Amino acid sequence: MRRGISVSLMIVWSVFFLAACHTDTELAKTGDVREATPAADVLPTFLSGKSEDVQSVYRIAAERRQMLQHIPCYCGCGDSVGHQSNADCFVYTVKEDGAVVWDDHGTKCGVCLEIAVKSAQMAAEGADIKTVRQTIDAQYGTGYADPTPTPLP
């Protein structure tokens, strides 16, 4: 019986190890998981256990990345992990070939998620980037961490 368990554990470990070797996932020095997918419409596997709401925010963040690069985050990620904007909480970078390197920081932070959703909702209602930025700054400027060093649009 013990031998059967040992063999089973070895098989499970081998499958896990081989699967990990075939993904484009890394653990950043910040502790965040980063995973590359071929395009923005392919979500990272680290979202597979997350709610549909969180997955939707990641889709929105990819679609609205240009705007979110001008919207600061107020969760403290500028100081703690070096983020420059709310976009960085979800997308680490987009490569020249269109591949997206996702960041799992947003999965662990309600402030990041709220700012992305509020910004996207305002833009969908016709607000320009400056208005969105002013609204986010006003709403999160007091009682939250210092903002990321996000350039104005």
- Residue 135 maps to a domain: yes
Find out whether 31 and 80 touch, Cβ atoms under 8 Å: no
Q: pTM value? A: 0.82
- Residue 152 maps to a domain: no
Quote the DSSP letter at residue 87: G
- Residue 19 maps to a domain: no
- Residue 128 maps to a domain: yes
* CA 144/CA 77 separation, integer angstroms: 11
Q: Is 126 helix (H, G, I), strand (E, B) or coil?
A: coil
Predicted confidence band at 17 (pLDDT cuts at 50, 70, 90)?
Answer: very low
pLDDT above 90 for 150: yes
Note the pLDDT tens digit of each residue in 95-140.
999 999 999 999 999 999 999 999 999 999 999 999 999 999 999 9
| Among the listed residues 51, 74, 61, 40, the one whose alpha carbon sits nearest the alpha carbon of residue 123 | 61
- Residue 147 maps to a domain: no
C-alpha triplet 122, 142, 80: angle, nearest 5°:
90
How many domains, the chain? 1
- Residue 44 maps to a domain: yes
Q: Which domain holds residue 133?
A: 25-140
- Residue 153 maps to a domain: no
Note the pLDDT tens digit of each residue in 77-106.
999 999 999 999 999 999 999 999 999 999
- Residue 15 maps to a domain: no
Q: What are phi and psi of 131, to 5 degrees?
A: -65, -45
